[in-house]
Protein backbone atom coordinates (compact mmCIF):
# COMPACT_ATOMS: atom_id res chain seq x y z
CA UNK A 1 0.00 0.00 0.00
CA UNK A 2 1.23 3.47 -0.93
CA UNK A 3 0.28 6.66 0.87
CA UNK A 4 1.50 10.21 0.53
CA UNK A 5 0.71 13.43 2.39
CA UNK A 6 2.22 16.88 2.50
CA UNK A 7 2.21 20.00 4.71
CA UNK A 8 3.75 23.40 4.00
CA UNK A 9 4.52 25.81 6.84
CA UNK A 10 6.20 29.17 7.24
CA UNK A 11 9.47 28.79 9.11
CA UNK A 12 8.38 29.62 12.66
CA UNK A 13 8.40 27.68 15.93
CA UNK A 14 4.74 28.61 16.35
CA UNK A 15 3.97 26.13 13.55
CA UNK A 16 5.69 23.16 15.24
CA UNK A 17 2.44 22.13 16.91
CA UNK A 18 0.65 21.96 13.52
CA UNK A 19 3.52 19.86 12.14
CA UNK A 20 3.34 17.43 15.07
CA UNK A 21 -0.45 17.14 14.80
CA UNK A 22 -0.18 16.48 11.06
CA UNK A 23 2.53 13.82 11.44
CA UNK A 24 0.66 12.15 14.30
CA UNK A 25 -2.61 12.04 12.36
CA UNK A 26 -1.08 10.69 9.13
CA UNK A 27 1.30 8.20 10.76
CA UNK A 28 -1.63 6.83 12.78
CA UNK A 29 -3.70 6.55 9.58
CA UNK A 30 -0.83 4.62 7.97
CA UNK A 31 -1.24 2.07 10.77
CA UNK A 32 2.01 2.70 12.66
CA UNK A 33 2.06 1.72 16.33
CA UNK A 34 1.83 4.54 18.86
CA UNK A 35 5.43 4.23 20.12
CA UNK A 36 6.73 4.60 16.54
CA UNK A 37 4.34 7.47 15.86
CA UNK A 38 5.78 9.27 18.95
CA UNK A 39 9.35 8.75 17.73
CA UNK A 40 8.56 10.03 14.24
CA UNK A 41 6.66 13.07 15.58
CA UNK A 42 9.58 14.03 17.81
CA UNK A 43 12.16 13.49 15.05
CA UNK A 44 10.31 15.75 12.61
CA UNK A 45 9.86 18.38 15.36
CA UNK A 46 13.60 18.32 16.10
CA UNK A 47 14.55 18.52 12.41
CA UNK A 48 12.18 21.45 11.76
CA UNK A 49 13.31 23.23 14.96
CA UNK A 50 16.93 23.07 13.78
CA UNK A 51 16.00 24.42 10.33
CA UNK A 52 13.95 27.29 11.83
CA UNK A 53 16.63 28.14 14.39
CA UNK A 54 19.95 27.56 12.64
CA UNK A 55 19.25 27.62 8.88
CA UNK A 56 16.48 30.22 8.67
CA UNK A 57 17.45 32.06 11.87
CA UNK A 58 13.77 32.57 12.77
CA UNK A 59 12.99 34.28 9.43
CA UNK A 60 9.33 33.31 8.94
CA UNK A 61 9.32 34.51 5.34
CA UNK A 62 11.13 31.20 4.66
CA UNK A 63 9.12 28.02 4.34
CA UNK A 64 9.42 24.31 5.04
CA UNK A 65 7.64 21.54 3.14
CA UNK A 66 7.17 18.15 4.75
CA UNK A 67 6.23 15.16 2.62
CA UNK A 68 5.32 11.82 4.19
CA UNK A 69 5.46 8.66 2.12
CA UNK A 70 4.61 5.19 3.33
CA UNK A 71 5.35 2.26 1.06
CA UNK A 72 5.25 -1.29 2.35
CA UNK A 73 7.08 -1.12 5.65
CA UNK A 74 9.09 2.02 4.99
CA UNK A 75 8.11 5.49 6.14
CA UNK A 76 10.00 8.35 4.51
CA UNK A 77 9.65 11.96 5.60
CA UNK A 78 11.24 14.42 3.20
CA UNK A 79 11.73 17.95 4.51
CA UNK A 80 12.43 20.48 1.76
CA UNK A 81 13.78 23.93 2.59
CA UNK A 82 16.13 26.62 1.32
CA UNK A 83 19.41 27.46 3.02
CA UNK A 84 22.96 26.34 3.62
CA UNK A 85 23.88 22.69 3.27
CA UNK A 86 24.09 20.92 6.62
CA UNK A 87 24.16 17.14 6.93
CA UNK A 88 22.97 15.92 10.36
CA UNK A 89 24.98 12.72 9.78
CA UNK A 90 28.10 14.75 10.59
CA UNK A 91 26.89 15.19 14.19
CA UNK A 92 27.81 12.42 16.59
CA UNK A 93 25.59 11.17 19.40
CA UNK A 94 27.31 12.42 22.57
CA UNK A 95 28.26 10.18 25.47
CA UNK A 96 25.31 11.05 27.69
CA UNK A 97 27.12 10.34 30.96
CA UNK A 98 29.72 13.00 30.11
CA UNK A 99 27.07 15.32 28.69
CA UNK A 100 25.04 15.23 31.90
CA UNK A 101 28.07 15.38 34.18
CA UNK A 102 29.27 18.54 32.46
CA UNK A 103 25.75 20.07 32.62
CA UNK A 104 25.77 20.72 28.90
CA UNK A 105 22.80 22.48 27.34
CA UNK A 106 21.36 21.89 23.86
CA UNK A 107 22.60 19.82 20.98
CA UNK A 108 20.27 16.88 21.67
CA UNK A 109 17.94 17.35 18.69
CA UNK A 110 20.02 15.51 16.09
CA UNK A 111 21.09 12.75 18.53
CA UNK A 112 17.38 12.13 19.27
CA UNK A 113 16.61 11.89 15.54
CA UNK A 114 19.48 9.42 15.16
CA UNK A 115 18.19 7.31 18.06
CA UNK A 116 14.65 7.22 16.69
CA UNK A 117 15.08 6.94 12.93
CA UNK A 118 16.87 4.23 10.93
CA UNK A 119 18.46 6.52 8.38
CA UNK A 120 18.96 10.20 7.59
CA UNK A 121 19.77 11.40 4.06
CA UNK A 122 20.56 14.90 2.88
CA UNK A 123 20.46 15.98 -0.74
CA UNK A 124 21.66 19.49 -1.52
CA UNK A 125 20.90 21.16 -4.85
CA UNK A 126 22.77 24.32 -5.88
CA UNK A 127 22.46 27.03 -4.97
CA UNK A 128 20.45 26.53 -1.78
CA UNK A 129 17.81 23.79 -1.95
CA UNK A 130 17.92 20.99 0.62
CA UNK A 131 15.99 17.74 0.89
CA UNK A 132 16.41 16.10 4.26
CA UNK A 133 14.88 12.62 4.39
CA UNK A 134 14.22 10.76 7.63
CA UNK A 135 13.62 7.04 7.12
CA UNK A 136 11.91 4.66 9.53
CA UNK A 137 11.47 0.92 8.97
CA UNK A 138 8.13 0.14 10.51
CA UNK B 1 -5.69 25.67 21.13
CA UNK B 2 -3.63 23.73 23.63
CA UNK B 3 -0.50 25.72 24.45
CA UNK B 4 1.71 25.80 27.49
CA UNK B 5 0.77 26.97 30.98
CA UNK B 6 2.45 26.99 34.36
CA UNK B 7 0.43 26.94 37.58
CA UNK B 8 2.56 27.71 40.60
CA UNK B 9 1.90 26.58 44.14
CA UNK B 10 3.83 26.92 47.38
CA UNK B 11 4.06 23.99 49.78
CA UNK B 12 6.16 25.11 52.75
CA UNK B 13 9.59 25.92 51.39
CA UNK B 14 8.96 24.10 48.08
CA UNK B 15 7.65 25.78 44.94
CA UNK B 16 5.59 23.44 42.80
CA UNK B 17 5.31 24.21 39.09
CA UNK B 18 2.42 22.36 37.48
CA UNK B 19 3.19 22.44 33.78
CA UNK B 20 0.46 21.89 31.19
CA UNK B 21 0.31 21.46 27.43
CA UNK B 22 3.43 21.05 25.32
CA UNK B 23 7.02 22.09 25.87
CA UNK B 24 8.76 22.68 22.55
CA UNK B 25 11.04 25.29 20.96
CA UNK B 26 8.09 27.71 20.87
CA UNK B 27 6.91 27.40 24.48
CA UNK B 28 10.10 26.52 26.39
CA UNK B 29 10.90 30.22 26.83
CA UNK B 30 7.95 30.42 29.26
CA UNK B 31 9.55 27.81 31.50
CA UNK B 32 12.89 29.64 31.25
CA UNK B 33 11.17 32.82 32.44
CA UNK B 34 9.65 30.95 35.38
CA UNK B 35 13.05 29.58 36.46
CA UNK B 36 14.65 33.03 36.03
CA UNK B 37 11.99 34.58 38.23
CA UNK B 38 12.30 31.90 40.93
CA UNK B 39 16.07 32.38 40.99
CA UNK B 40 15.65 36.17 41.29
CA UNK B 41 13.26 35.55 44.22
CA UNK B 42 15.85 33.19 45.73
CA UNK B 43 13.39 30.30 45.57
CA UNK B 44 15.68 27.40 44.87
CA UNK B 45 13.56 24.41 45.92
CA UNK B 46 11.55 23.62 42.83
CA UNK B 47 9.35 20.62 42.10
CA UNK B 48 8.00 20.36 38.56
CA UNK B 49 4.82 18.33 38.15
CA UNK B 50 4.46 16.90 34.63
CA UNK B 51 0.99 15.36 35.08
CA UNK B 52 -0.67 17.56 32.46
CA UNK B 53 2.28 17.87 30.09
CA UNK B 54 1.53 16.07 26.84
CA UNK B 55 4.82 16.55 24.96
CA UNK B 56 8.43 17.58 25.44
CA UNK B 57 11.14 18.13 22.82
CA UNK B 58 14.87 18.68 23.28
CA UNK B 59 14.20 22.43 23.66
CA UNK B 60 12.17 21.63 26.78
CA UNK B 61 14.81 19.24 28.12
CA UNK B 62 17.40 21.97 27.60
CA UNK B 63 15.61 24.27 30.06
CA UNK B 64 16.15 21.79 32.91
CA UNK B 65 19.82 21.41 31.94
CA UNK B 66 20.24 25.20 31.77
CA UNK B 67 19.15 25.87 35.36
CA UNK B 68 20.08 22.79 37.38
CA UNK B 69 23.64 23.89 38.11
CA UNK B 70 22.86 27.38 39.40
CA UNK B 71 19.92 26.09 41.46
CA UNK B 72 22.09 23.39 43.07
CA UNK B 73 24.94 25.84 43.65
CA UNK B 74 22.45 27.76 45.79
CA UNK B 75 21.64 24.71 47.88
CA UNK B 76 18.37 23.92 46.12
CA UNK B 77 17.23 21.43 43.53
CA UNK B 78 14.91 20.98 40.55
CA UNK B 79 12.97 17.76 41.06
CA UNK B 80 10.49 16.22 38.67
CA UNK B 81 7.36 14.14 39.21
CA UNK B 82 4.24 12.54 37.70
CA UNK B 83 5.56 12.11 34.15
CA UNK B 84 3.58 10.07 31.63
CA UNK B 85 5.39 6.98 30.36
CA UNK B 86 5.84 8.69 27.00
CA UNK B 87 7.71 11.63 28.56
CA UNK B 88 9.61 9.52 31.09
CA UNK B 89 10.91 7.36 28.21
CA UNK B 90 12.57 10.41 26.63
CA UNK B 91 14.25 11.41 29.90
CA UNK B 92 15.25 7.81 30.54
CA UNK B 93 16.64 7.19 27.06
CA UNK B 94 18.95 10.18 27.45
CA UNK B 95 20.08 9.13 30.93
CA UNK B 96 18.50 12.12 32.72
CA UNK B 97 17.52 10.07 35.82
CA UNK B 98 21.25 10.08 36.69
CA UNK B 99 21.14 13.85 37.11
CA UNK B 100 17.52 14.49 38.13
CA UNK B 101 15.38 12.98 40.88
CA UNK B 102 12.21 11.79 39.14
CA UNK B 103 9.32 10.52 41.27
CA UNK B 104 6.06 8.94 40.18
CA UNK B 105 3.89 10.68 42.78
CA UNK B 106 3.98 14.28 43.94
CA UNK B 107 3.45 13.22 47.57
CA UNK B 108 6.58 11.06 47.71
CA UNK B 109 8.52 13.67 45.74
CA UNK B 110 7.70 16.28 48.42
CA UNK B 111 8.59 13.90 51.27
CA UNK B 112 11.96 13.07 49.70
CA UNK B 113 12.62 16.72 48.83
CA UNK B 114 11.95 17.75 52.48
CA UNK B 115 14.27 15.08 53.82
CA UNK B 116 16.99 16.21 51.38
CA UNK B 117 16.53 19.83 52.51
CA UNK B 118 16.59 18.87 56.20
CA UNK B 119 19.84 16.96 55.67
CA UNK B 120 21.47 19.85 53.81
CA UNK B 121 20.48 22.27 56.60
CA UNK B 122 21.88 20.10 59.41
| B22 three-state secondary structure | strand
Q: b/e per residue, B38-67, with b = 16+ CB within 10 A?
A: bbeeebbbbbbbbeebebbbbbbbbbbbbb
Averaged pLDDT of chain A: 96
Domain that holds residue B66: 4-113
Domains of chain A: 2-137 (3.30.565.10)
Residue of B nearest to A20 (CA): B55
Whether residue B90 lies inside any domain: the answer is yes
Q: What is the rounded average pLDDT of the residues A73-80?
A: 97
Whether residue B119 lies inside any domain: the answer is no
Whether residue B30 lies inside any domain: the answer is yes
The A residues from 34 to 73 touching B (CB cutoff 8 Å) are 38, 42, 45-46, 49, 52-53
Portion of chain A with pLDDT greater than 70, in percent: 100
Whether residue B65 lies inside any domain: the answer is yes
Q: B25: which chain A residues are within 8 Å (Cβ-Cβ)?
A: 13, 16, 45, 49, 52-53
Q: What is the rounded average pLDDT of the residues A55-75?
A: 97
pLDDT at residue B120, as a whole number: 80
Whether residue B61 lies inside any domain: the answer is yes
- H-helix segments, chain A: 16-29, 34-50, 96-101, 109-116
Whether residue B39 lies inside any domain: the answer is yes
Distance from CA of B11 to the nearest CA of A (A): 28
pTM of the model: 0.95
CATH of the domain at B62: 3.30.750.24
pLDDT at residue B37, as a whole number: 97
Whether residue B122 lies inside any domain: the answer is no
pLDDT at residue B2, as a whole number: 55
Nearest Cβ partner for B65 among A20, A42, A105: A105
Nearest Cβ partner for B58 among A20, A46, A96: A46
Digit-coded pLDDT (tens) for A15-46: 999 999 999 999 999 999 999 999 999 999 99
Strands A2-10 and A74-82: unpaired
Distance from CA of A89 to the nearest CA of B (A): 18
In 3D, which of B107, B89, B117 has the Cα closest to residue B16? B107
pLDDT at residue B22, as a whole number: 98
What ipTM was predicted for this assembly? Answer: 0.94
Whether residue B9 lies inside any domain: the answer is yes
The structural domain count of chain B equals 1
Nearest Cβ partner for A105 among B26, B57, B66: B66
Determine the Cα–Cα distance for residues A93 and A83; give it in Å rounded to an integer.
24
Per-residue pLDDT of chain B (122 residues; tens, 9 = 90+): 459 999 999 999 999 999 999 999 999 999 999 999 999 999 999 999 999 999 999 999 999 999 999 999 999 999 999 999 999 999 999 999 999 999 999 999 999 999 999 988 76
Whether the CB of A105 is below 8 Å from some CB of chain B: the reply is yes
pLDDT at residue A30, as a whole number: 96
Burial tier of A82 (Cβ tally within 10 Å: 0-12, 13-18, 19+): middle
Nearest Cβ partner for A45 among B24, B62, B68: B24
Whether residue B65 and residue A103 make contact (CB cut-off 8 A), yes or no, is: yes
pLDDT at residue A3, as a whole number: 86
Distance from CA of B73 to the nearest CA of A (A): 12
* Contact residues for A64 (Cβ-Cβ < 8 A; gap 6+): A8, A9, A10, A11, A48, A51, A52, A79, A80, A81
Residue A112 has pLDDT above 60, yes or no: yes
pLDDT at residue A2, as a whole number: 84
pLDDT at residue B1, as a whole number: 41
Amino acid sequence: MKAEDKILISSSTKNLKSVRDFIEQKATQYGLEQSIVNQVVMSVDEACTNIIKYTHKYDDSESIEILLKKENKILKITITYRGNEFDPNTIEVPDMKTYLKQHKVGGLGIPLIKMFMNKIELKHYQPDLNELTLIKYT
Amino acid sequence: MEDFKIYEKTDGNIRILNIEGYLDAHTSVELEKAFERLISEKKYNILVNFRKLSYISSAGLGVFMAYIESIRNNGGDIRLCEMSDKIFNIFDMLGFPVLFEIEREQGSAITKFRSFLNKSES
